[in-house]
Amino acid sequence: MTEEPYRARRAAGGAPPPASPRTEAPKKEGARRRGWKIAGIIMASLAVLVIIAVVVAFSYLRSLQTTFDDNRETIEGLDLEDDSAYRTPEGTVNMLLMGTDSRGDDEQDYRDATGEGAERSDTMMFVHIPADRSGVYVMSIMRDLWVEVPGEGMGRVNTALGLGGYELAVDLVEEMLYTHIDHVAVVDFEGFSDLTEALGGVYIDNPHSFSAGQRNPAFYPEGTIRLEGSSALRYVRERQSFPTGDYIRVENQQRVVRAILERFLSAETLSNPQRIYSVVDGMTPYLSVDEGLNAETVAGYALDMRDVRSDDIHMFTMPAGEHATTSAGAEVILPDDEMMSLLRTSLAQENMGGFMDYIELVEQHENGEFGVPDEAEEDDLDEEEDEDPDDAGDSSASGR
């Protein structure tokens, strides 16, 4: 009788007896191989997802770049490379923003009153970005400011465009501020309508109620109001409703520009790719820029200023003096020579923060809050500016 090999029986509980090392080892090796296989599949899937995300992001950025470069209009014949570049510290960026003639109800009345029939810059803003990218300074220039127009004699600021095109307008601002302009952007006011719509509307604090327009007037109550589309356009155009017409209009324009910037820099917008695309797509058809202001340049500036928030954007109006009447009977605004000198020095010394502090002191005094800024305070400001060139030179991390 042949003996059967011994076979272990199951224990009473039904569990198999422990396997010998010789029988278990192959099972562990197989499990390990299956584990590596699963991990490999997961890593490969993650890699595919990352690649897809990169492709989508790149495609989105390329789409934005293409939209900007294809839709923008380049200002022909504008050469910004001149001998004024030495006037600004390395790394700073100065930009001249101009708004084209409005088509509001008061446009022809203004031309009739001033005798100006040529193209004019209805709005002019000077934008200064320091080398350390610590903030953005946006200065409105009064269009009726009476200044020396290079090669043309005395005239209003906004006549430069009609007399010599964008190049003369640039030369005028460079000489007024003794600085250099790196870029120029011209915006058709009609673009305000599409831009505010793309942002889903903007909110401003309107200090005084008023009506805009001679025909079918729009009413803007005092307090927080929402502007979108045509309501935003009419708000920034209006000047006849105010006793100090252009001053109030400039302030209104500053409010809307600030509201647009705050809305664009908000987390709600920056986390919404479709809204960003809508803003770029809606605005660029109304935008004319110098040849150097392309999508790549804009993206570089945006990266440099990624930490800038709405509180870092400072808006103010170029210092101006008294109203006057020219020998020809034109109503103009005279410049404030003392404050203009301080402004030029502050720009050259990269001390616009000190200049803004001084403006605040002056405004507080004018409002009766406390005493006049004395000569000692002015001397302190001058001393700060004298020290700033070395600091500015050390902090310049990027060239223009």
pLDDT tens-digit readout, 206-217: 998 999 877 788
pLDDT above 60: residue 393: no
Of 290, 318, 346, the residue that ends a domain is 318
Residues 98 and 194 in one domain: yes
Give domain status of residue 285, yes or no: yes
Look up the domain containing 168 and give its range.
72-318
Give domain status of residue 398, yes or no: no
Q: Judging by DSSP bridges, how do beta strands 287-289 and 73-74 pair with one another?
A: parallel
Of 257, 288, 318, the residue that ends a domain is 318
Percentage of the residues of the chain whose pLDDT score is greater than 90: 31
Give domain status of residue 109, yes or no: yes
Residues 351 and 296 in one domain: no
pLDDT above 70: residue 310: yes
Of 318, 345, 377, the residue that ends a domain is 318
* Tally of domains within the chain: 2
pLDDT above 70: residue 229: yes
Q: What is the pLDDT of residue 168?
A: 94
Q: What is the pLDDT of residue 392?
A: 44
Residues 233 and 362 in one domain: no
Q: What is the pLDDT of residue 264?
A: 85
Residues 133 and 270 in one domain: yes
Residues 263 and 195 in one domain: yes
Instruction: Look at phi and psi of residue 229 and say left if phi exceeds 0, alpha if psi is from -120 to 50, else beta.
Output: left
Q: Where are the alpha helices (DSSP H) in the chain?
A: 21-71, 107-114, 160-177, 190-198, 230-237, 245-265, 267-270, 273-283, 295-304, 337-348, 352-366, 375-395
Tokens 């406390």 found at: 370
Give domain status of residue 354, yes or no: yes
Residues 371 and 299 in one domain: no
Q: What is the pLDDT of residues 37-88, one digit of tens each?
A: 666 666 666 556 556 555 555 566 677 788 888 888 899 889 898 788 888 8
Helix (H, G, I), strand (E, B) or coil at 14: coil
pTM over 0.75: no
Residues 313 and 374 in one domain: no
What number of other Cβ atoms are within 10 A of residue 228's Cβ?
A: 18
Helix (H, G, I), strand (E, B) or coil at 288: strand
Q: What is the pLDDT of residue 29?
A: 58
Q: What is the pLDDT of residue 340?
A: 95
pLDDT above 50: residue 400: no
Give domain status of residue 303, yes or no: yes
CATH value at residue 265: 3.40.630.190
Residues 285 and 348 in one domain: no
Give domain status of residue 55, yes or no: no
